[in-house]
Amino acid sequence: MTDQEKILNEVTGSDYKFGFQTNIETETIPKGLNEEVVRIISAKKEEPEWLTESRLKAFRHWQTLQMPDWAHLRIPEIDYQDIIYYAAPKQDAKYESMDEVDPELLDTFNRLGIPLEEQKQLAGVAVDAVMDSVSVKTTFQDTLADKGIIFCSFSEAVKNHPDLIKKYMGSVVPYTDNYFAALNSAVFSDGSFCYIPRGVRCPMELSTYFRINAANTGQFERTLIVAEEDSYVSYLEGCTAPMRDENQLHAAIVEIVAMENAEVKYSTVQNWYPGNKEGIGGIYNFVTKRGICKGDSSKISWTQVETGSAVTWKYPSCILKGDNSVGEFYSVAVTNNYQQADTGTKMIHIGKNTRSTIISKGISAGKSQNSYRGLVKVLKGAENARNYSQCDSLLLGDQCGAHTFPYLEVDNRSAVVEHEATTSKIGEDQIFYCNQRGIDTENAISLIVNGYAKEVLNKLPMEFAVEAQKLLAITLEGSVG
């Protein structure tokens, strides 16, 4: 064993900083999944008949499906009857003023760095805070409403903007899409909706913060973003969960629709509880994220920093339908200990002169497995499509794995598709160079890793980038001595 391996093997106590649990009265329904449960969820949310029916249709379809097994993941059998599908902090209605919000809840979000009092918030970020199955509070709604922007919880949107929901929900990710999409479409609880009207540049970052709190529950949220012609929005998503020995399921759907000349930036810092050093506990994260560039010259850009979850299965994708539309995917995925990630993207070129860029940086430590899986598909009519993909893997130690699975389907000869991939080990020489300048090994690794991921981190909004850098360091704490 080399000295570096020894260092890497020496596990120091690195703790998940968001692992606390909030003691708050929670209303849950019994474990298990059947049509009755689907109806109960729908009834709790006072949903219209069409939505109940749509849930049931999805549920019936889900029952005919098998869990996908093509990913480079080892997942123990999940007992879907052993999960609670609805849990909500007890409250009468959504809080109108801050005084009504349970102090425990406020405290929870404060500890997560997401103060819900508007005056305490980062200027320029509106937050929808979702705990377990419901949205707790959405800030800055009035400010946004002045511009005609709708930013609210999904449940509210169902009540207040049923036409928009009916029109767009499931239009990008139909319930038939895959196993987890079907499951989500049946039991989804809450999430965020945002609508940017024609010609409006959203003046602040919109952000949703997802928190799992209750035990034995799954979280199934949906996010829908619609950007009308000539509009722009930057959207952030963050997530954490308490430390528990059991695995918890998270299966979300995110849909984005961009009309002509619209631009949507979607950034995620995913920090679900990853399990402990022996691989016990942690979130199973199965997420379907997809955007459609419906109008000409529209643009959708995904940036993700994936540090959490025991298992990550996630491929934020772009359907480039409009001519001259642009899709981007920037990703940093870090795995440590026994974490497993199979993540990447799909870029589907349909329109002419469509362009896509994929930059993926995988960082593996401990005994983790980290895979990039990406599809670039160019359809017959996509004249002059361009794709550039770059997939880099960085290994810390030699008990982890990095894998790259690029798929290419090109049906138009004018397409130019480039793919580059590298795998490197973090250099002992680099670490020693830092040591010689007084920087200890832990900080050296954090510096080097952040440098490696810089291209992607630079795409994040400022406040998020700083958070993400810290998170990378924390995730890799304990991967070195």
Partner 1 sequence: MLEIKDLKVNIEDKEILKGINLSVKAGEVHAIMGPNGSGKSTLASALAGRDYFNITHGKIIYEGKDLTELTPEDRAREGIFLGFQYPVEIPGVSMVNFLRTSINSMRKYRGQDPLPAGDFLKLMREKKKIVEIDSDLTNRSVNEGFSGGEKKKNEIFQMALLEPKLAILDETDSGLDIDALRIVSNGVNKLRSPENATIIITHYQRLLDYIVPDVVHVLYKGRIVKSGDKSLAKELEEHGYEWIKQEVDANA
Q: Give me the count of residues in the chain.
A: 481
Residue 306 CB, nearest approach to partner 1 (Å): 19
Whole-angstrom distance, CA of residue 406 vs CA of residue 387:
13
State how far the Cα of 334 lies from the Cα of 245, in Å rounded to an integer: 21
> Which of 386, 380, 376, 332 shows the shortest CA–CA distance to 354?
386
Give the separation between CA 350 and CA 379, rounded to whole angstroms.
5
Q: 7 in helix, strand or coil?
A: helix
The CB-of-432 to partner 1 minimum distance in angstroms stands at: 6
DSSP code string of 368-400: -EEEEEEEEEE-TT-TT-EEEEEEEEEESSSSS
What's the CA gap between 479 and 472, in Å, rounded? Answer: 12
* CA 338 to centroid of chain Cα atoms: 20
181 vs 473 by CB, closer to partner 1: 473
Token couple for 57: 């249709």
Q: How far is the CB of 473 from partner 1 (least distance, A)?
A: 12
CB nearer partner 1, residue 251 or residue 449: 449
Nearest-approach distance from CB 443 to partner 1, in angstroms: 6
Output 204 or 448, the one with its CB closest to partner 1.
448
Rounded least distance, CB 238 to partner 1, Å: 24
DSSP state of 41: H
Nearer to partner 1, 376 or 434 (CB): 434
Cβ proximity to partner 1: between 331 and 353 the closer is 331
Interaction site with partner 1 (CB under 8 A): 2-3, 427, 429-430, 432-441, 443, 447-448, 450-455
Of 311 and 444, which CB lies nearer to partner 1 in the complex structure?
444
Write down the least CB distance from residue 176 to partner 1, Å. 42
In the complex with partner 1, the residue whose CB is nearer, 263 or 392, is 392
CB of 96 to partner 1, least distance (A): 43
The Cα 322–Cα 236 span in angstroms is 25
* Helical pair 35-44 and 179-187, crossing angle rounded to 10 deg: 50
Residue 235: count other Cβ atoms within 10 Å of its Cβ.
24
